[in-house]
Chains A and B, each alone.
Chain A
Amino acid sequence: MNAAQHILDALQRHQIDTVFGYPGGCIMPLYDALVAEDVGVEHVLCRHEQACALAADGYARASGRTGVCIATSGPGATNLITGVANAHRDSIPMLVITGQVPSSLIGTDAFQETDVLGMTLGIVKHSYLVTEASDLPAIMEEALQLAESGRPGPVWIDIPKDILLTDIGEPTAPAPTTATPLPDPTAEIDEALAMLREANMPLLYSGGGVSLAHAESAFRRFAKASRLPNVVTLKGIGNPGYDNADQMGMLGLHGSKAANMAVDTCDLLMVVGARLDDRATGAVSTFAPNAKVIHIDTDAAEFGKLRAADLAIRGELGAILNGMADALVRQPLTIENWRQQCATWRKTQGFQAAINEDPHAPISGPEFMRQLTDIAPRDAIVACDVGQHQMWVAQYCRFDHPRNHLSSGGLGTMGFGLPAAIGAQFAFPDRPVINVTGDGSFMMNAQELATIRRHRLPIKLIIMDNQCLGMVRQQQELFYENRESQINLDDNPDFLALARAFDIPTLAIQRTDQVRRGIQTILAYDGPMLLHVSIDRSENVWPIVKPGASNRDMLDESQRPTSTTAKNKESAA
Chain B
Amino acid sequence: MTASADHTTHTLSCRMQPEPAALERLCQVARIRGFRIEEMQVRTDADGLAIDMVLSGQRSIDMLRRQIEKLHTVCSLRSPEQALTGIRQSA
Contact = CB atoms under 8 A, between A and B. Distances in A.
Contact of A126 (B32, B72, B88): B72
A122 B32 contact: yes
A301 B67 contact: yes
B21 A299 contact: no
Contact of A146 (B62, B66, B69, B72): B72
B24 to A, nearest CB: 6
A299 B91 contact: no
Contacts of B91: 142, 145-146, 177
A118 B21 contact: yes
The prevalent SS among residues of A at the interface is: mixed
A321 B43 CA distance: 45
Given A121-B28, A122-B28, A304-B63, A180 B89 contact: yes
B72 A121 contact: no
Most chain B CB inside 10 Å of its own CB: which residue of A127, A142, A146, A300: A300
Interface in B54-75: 60, 62-63, 66-67, 69-73
Contacts of B69: 300-301
B20 interface: yes
B63 A117 contact: no
A117 B60 CA distance: 29
Contact of A129 (B21, B25, B32, B71): B21
Contacts of A126: 71-73
A187 B89 CA distance: 26
A117 B72 contact: no
A360 interface: no
Most chain A CB inside 10 Å of its own CB: which residue of B20, B21, B69: B21
Given A180-B88, A180-B89, A131 B20 contact: yes
Interface string A356-387: 00000000000000000000000000000000
Contacts of A473: none
Interface residues of B, number: 20
Nearest to A125: B72
A126 B71 CA distance: 7
B90 to A, nearest CB: 9
A13 interface: no
Nearest to B60: A304
A305 interface: yes
A299 B70 contact: yes
A505 to B, nearest CB: 47
A79 to B, nearest CB: 21
Most chain B CB inside 10 Å of its own CB: which residue of A145, A146, A177, A301: A301
A508 B3 CA distance: 62
A124 to B, nearest CB: 10
Interface string B31-68: 01000000000000000000000000000101100110
6 contacts: A121-B24, A125-B72, A126-B72, A131-B20, A145-B91, A177-B91
Interface of A: 117-118, 121-122, 125-129, 131, 142, 145-146, 177-178, 180, 299-301, 303-305
Given A118-B21, A129-B21, 9 more contacts: A121-B24, A121-B28, A125-B72, A126-B71, A128-B19, A145-B91, A146-B91, A299-B70, A303-B66
